Amino acid sequence: MTVKEIAELLRGTLTGEGAREIRGVAGLANAGPEDLTFAEGERALAQAAASSAGCILVTIGAAVEGRTTIAVAQPKLALVRAAEALCPRSVPVPGIHPTAVIAPDARLAEDVSVGPYAVVESGVSVGARTCLGAGVFLGEGSQVGAGCVLYPRVTVYAARKSATG
């Protein structure tokens, strides 16, 4: 994604190289030539001048001489929005891993993803587009709504409910 495209996404004001390619996000101290970062406050702006970052998000009215910047109202929030575009979450493939243990009476929506060594006990209900990571344990009678992500080794005890993701 180019700096110009990021500026358009964030509705920010671009200064510098609009054609520069940005491939990731990083902290100010660790950012490289293909990374986006942010700087808020005088100390961070001074560090930004010495940074190797490809592009720096700054507050409206701030400047970093000789660097490619995008001025926005809230640089931290803008970094999060840009990160979602630069590093999209992978969408798990629906299906049940062969090592998962699923009770015969568990109700799983068709497009659920169940990772390795997950355990789904009797009477469990899992909603559409939900992802159960490796080693997830769903206790007897528990309910997990639609669009949820349960990360590896999460335990939901018997007869508990999880909100829709």
**Residue listed under structure tokens 């929005």:** 81
Clarify whether residues 66 and 105 are in a common domain. no
Last residue of a domain, one of 86, 106, 135: 86
Q: What is the layout of strands, in order, in the sheet containing 161-162? A: 107-108, 125-126, 143-144, 161-162
Provide, rounded to the nearest whole percent, the portion of the chain with pLDDT above 70.
96
- Domain final residue pick, 38, 60, 86: 86
Q: How much is the pLDDT for 16?
A: 96
160 has a pLDDT exceeding 90? no
Q: Write the CATH number for 73.
A: 3.40.1390.10
Q: Are both 67 and 106 inside the same structural domain? A: no
74 and 115: one domain? no
47 and 29, same structural domain? Answer: yes
Same domain, 51 and 104: no
Does residue 79 sit in the same domain as residue 100? no
**For residue 165, pLDDT beyond 60:** no
Q: Largest Cα–Cα distance of the chain, in whole Å?
A: 65
- Same domain assignment for residues 38 and 101: no
Q: Are residues 66 and 126 in the same domain?
A: no
Shared domain for 19 and 39, answered yes or no, is: yes
How many domains are contained in the chain? 2
Is pLDDT above 70 for 135?
Answer: yes
pLDDT of residue 87: 87
79 in the same domain as 12:
yes
Average pLDDT over residues 87-112: 92
* Average confidence (pLDDT) over 114-129: 96
Q: What is the pLDDT of residues 40-95, one digit of tens each?
A: 999 999 999 999 999 999 999 999 999 999 999 999 999 999 999 998 877 788 99
Angle between helical axes of 75-86 and 3-10 (0-180°, round to 10): 120
Q: Is 31 in the same domain as 72?
A: yes
User: 163 pLDDT exceeds 70?
Assistant: no
Q: Which of 86, 110, 125 is the last residue of a domain?
A: 86
Q: Specify the DSSP element, H or E, that contains 48.
A: helix 42-50
Mean pLDDT of the chain: 94
- Mark whether 10 and 67 lie in a shared domain: yes
- Show the domain range for 146: 95-162
pTM exceeds 0.75: no
